[in-house]
Chain A
Amino acid sequence: MIELNDVHKSFGKVEVLKGITDSVQKGEVVCIIGPSGSGKSTILRCINGLESYDRGEISVEGLKVDRESPSIVNIRTQVSMVFQRFNLFPHRTVLENVVEGPLYVKKEPRAAAFERGRALLAQVGLAEKADAHPPQLSGGQQQRVAIARALAMQPKAILFDEPTSALDPELVGDVLGVMRKLADDGMTMVVVTHEMGFARDVADRVLFIDGGVIVEQGPAKALLNQPQHPRTQDFLRRVLHPL
């Protein structure tokens, strides 16, 4: 469904992606792990055209991702994104955040959009917060609203860019719970994360990225329990046993 073929990307002189090739199947949950600065987030940002890439090709359901082309809107309405820092619209209510895309991008009828928006808020456990403004919510609540906003576009896949990294530890569970339910419902997900427990339990596949290349990839449990590459072993040792 999402195809990356030898994708290269530089910021100035620094090459952050050095030939990424992968293929995400429909319904698959893929976690991307790796040290910071390894290019994990850049991969996600290239998939929905928030960032351009220099070489290679990315396509979503056969449609080439080109952020300069009008077709990028097509891709963005099919592939939603959830950000590390939520990026909710602070001047609109929670419900308005959720229906913004359906109303103004997809031009859905108001009543239907609002009804589905409320249903989605109920799904992420925030039905009673519909009329609050995002700054009044906790980080975990905001991120769940952001997930509802992503779902409201009825996307074929959702990209998660370190969705729990900005949260207090005790709020991480709520967000991961919502994500796990999505995965169980068959949503295609690409998740950049440091939550190894989530990756092990929920992901079908894990990619370990370091220095702009996929060092190792494979079924989640196999890769996390018996990493083959020394760099993967070293990374996992340091993440799982920081002391």
Chain B
Amino acid sequence: MKGFWHDAVEFFPILMNGVALTIVVTIGSLLLSTVLGLVWAMMRVSGIKALSMLSASLINVIRGIPIIVLLFYLYFVMPDLGVTLSALQAAILGLGIAYSAYQAENFRAGIEAIDKGQIEAAQSIGMGWWLTMRRVVLPQAVRIVLPPYGNVMIMMLKDSSQASTITVAELALQGKLIASSTFKNTSVFTLVALMYLTMSIPLILLVRHFEKRAGKR
């Protein structure tokens, strides 16, 4: 145990560099997946068949490809096609695209859970599709969507470790590098696990808060 504390003090600053990158990857891909997911979901519920089918197929293609393969594709294959991305860019893009499919299905479920009477009431006072979405459907859907959205945040935080496979020196890769050069596997990976857990706990509490609020109405 004494050895662990000693190692912890020594490795903590290096691992914190990893934490910083983990947070950058998580927030970046969270934002991207939210925006893309909203776009896919809007296309799905647009009522325009071509858009809805395009979005459905996109979602299925994305869902059918493992994140790690998507990352390899963006980082190793795109340069052959003339698009060179930094490891960090590829990681954010890959995780963002991969999770946009889950976000889209979550958003769609939330939108479709809104009572049809709400949409009719909006139409009956002359609102068009977009105004109905913006003023009536989306504000109510947010309450339904938030708890699962929080869960996606937690999953994305942990899955950001997959960025290590394309050389992004986030927390998991930092840990692996230290462990392989010092052979202090136990200390390092315990520390890494604790650091992920520490970052997850606020999110877990946030989800609980969302769930309580959603249950109120």
Contacts and interface: CB of A to CB of B under 8 A. Distances in A.
Nearest to B134: A104
Label chain B's interface by main secondary structure.
helix
B135 A104 contact: yes
Contacts of B139: 91
B125 interface: yes
Contacts, number: 56
Contact of A153 (B123, B126, B128, B140): B126
B117 A85 contact: yes
Interface in A78-124: 80-81, 83, 85, 87-91, 100-101, 104-106
Contact-residue size bin, chain B (C-beta under 8 Å from the other chain): 10 to 19
A83 B117 contact: yes
B126 A105 contact: yes
The 6 residue pairs across chains A and B that have the minimum distance between CB atoms: A101-B125, A87-B121, A87-B117, A81-B124, A105-B126, A77-B126
Contacts of B124: 48, 50, 76, 80-81, 83
A81 B122 CA distance: 10
Most buried by A among B115, B117, B122, B125: B125
What's the dominant secondary structure at chain A's contact region? loop
Contacts of A48: 124
A73 interface: yes
Nearest to A106: B126
A219 interface: no
A88 B115 CA distance: 11
Interface string B122-138: 11111110010001100
A8 to B, nearest CB: 22
A95 to B, nearest CB: 15
A150 B115 CA distance: 19
Contacts of A177: none
A50 B126 CA distance: 11
